[in-house]
Amino acid sequence: MVVLGIETSCDDTGVGIVAGGRIVANEVASQTLLHARYGGVVPELASREHTAVLDEMVERALDAAGLKAGQVDLVAATRGPGLVGPLLVGLTYAKGLAWGLGRPFVGVHHLEGHVHGALAEKELEPPFLVLIASGGHTHLYDVPAWGEYRLLGATRDDAAGEAFDKVARTLGLGYPGGPEIERLAAAGSERAVPFSVPMQGREGYDFSFSGLKTAAVRFAQSGYEPADIAASFQRVAVAALVGTLERAARDLGRRRVVVAGGVAANRLLRSELQASSLEVYLPPVGLTSDNGAMIALSAWRRWRRNPEPDPLTLAAEPYLPLGEG
């Protein structure tokens, strides 16, 4: 079975193709340079760029897979959550493509796509925990069965990736902030700046990163070296993620955990997770950011369990909870 997946929930235009459960194409058009001058994503500009490049991206993905459009068996697209304008571009395009080809259409939850992207090279059956950490999300779920996601905790303010972006801006670095913080941190000392690990000692499994951002501003104004701020901030942000995940796994009797989202590309986070007592499933670095292959994988696995198409009237849902899409 050949599945074509489209991802346009934010600022990356992704088109991926899965054949027989294997990724055979994954084309991504980044809008980083377009939005860098604004220090964040401008939704209207993102929507226009998705519209401008989707035809070309679909052609590139088909060429990379050595396929013709008529060989596609199923068309999938992200239906939410995300920015409503970008979501509508990809969702509408996918519906039109499915209708034109006479093929079924499936709408995919963006976060579930990230889960399947993390499992691109491995099969894993529930139960397990899922931590999704990105620029827009920091959510921890218990997954007792496919399609069942019990929210254990979420950020009370900034998402983890958003905090990286904001601290990078404070330090005069580029956008997106995650890679820039990681690069600068390599030249600093992770114990030089007295950040506190947020939410440490609190009950529950929520996260908070806004205080780290405020502390970074204060330390920068106090004259601490930017590299030391970057290294120390990265250390405590990773400690907050790993510590909460380990505690939840211990409390719920789960050992297997899936970690996905853009922050999962961070080398310190990956190292700390792999050094833990947990059985960790991480995405290939190329699948940590938004991409169409994860959407195609999610649709393919869903179709194996339940081969029912979604109606072409399926709406975009910018605040869609996981477990309802």
Query: Domains (ranges, CATH) in the chain?
Result: 2-115+288-305 (3.30.420.40), 126-282 (3.30.420.40)
What's the CA gap between 156 and 110, in Å, rounded? 20
Segment holding 197, helix H or strand E: none
What's the CA gap between 111 and 320, in Å, rounded? 10
What pLDDT sits at residue 324? Answer: 56
* Per-residue CA distances from 213 to 133, 208, 217 (Å): 16, 10, 6
Look at the block and give the residue holding tokens 């030089």: 192
Q: What is the pLDDT of residues 76-101, one digit of tens each?
A: 999 999 999 999 999 999 999 999 99
What's the CA gap between 263 and 33, in Å, rounded? 19
- Position 253, amino acid: G
What pLDDT sits at residue 201? Answer: 85
Report whether 219 contacts 193 (CB < 8 A): yes
Neighbour count for residue 288 (Cβ, 10 Å): 25
What pLDDT sits at residue 325? Answer: 45
What's the CA gap between 286 and 270, in Å, rounded? 14
Q: Say what angle helices 177-185 and 160-170 make with each other, to 10 degrees.
A: 60
How far does the chain reach from its first CA to its final CA, in angstroms? 22
What pLDDT sits at residue 200? Answer: 87
Low-confidence ranges of the chain (pLDDT < 70): 324-325
What tokens were used for 146?
A: 């496919």
0.85 exceeded by pTM: yes
What pLDDT sits at residue 147? Answer: 87
For residue 307, whether the previous peptide bond is cis, meaning omega lies within 30 degrees of 0, is no
Q: Say what angle helices 210-221 and 160-170 make with each other, to 10 degrees.
A: 10
All residues at 6 or more sequence positions from 97 whose CB lies less than 8 Å from its CB, including other chains: 4, 58, 69, 75
What pLDDT sits at residue 157? Answer: 96
| DSSP annotation of 224 | -
Look at the block and give the residue holding tokens 């964040």: 40
For residue 309, whether the previous peptide bond is cis, meaning omega lies within 30 degrees of 0, is no
Backbone angles phi, psi at 15, to 5 degrees: -130, 120
What's the CA gap between 125 and 2, in Å, rounded? 22
Pinpoint the alpha helices (H) of the chain. Answer: 32-36, 43-65, 84-101, 110-118, 160-170, 177-185, 210-221, 226-252, 267-274, 292-305
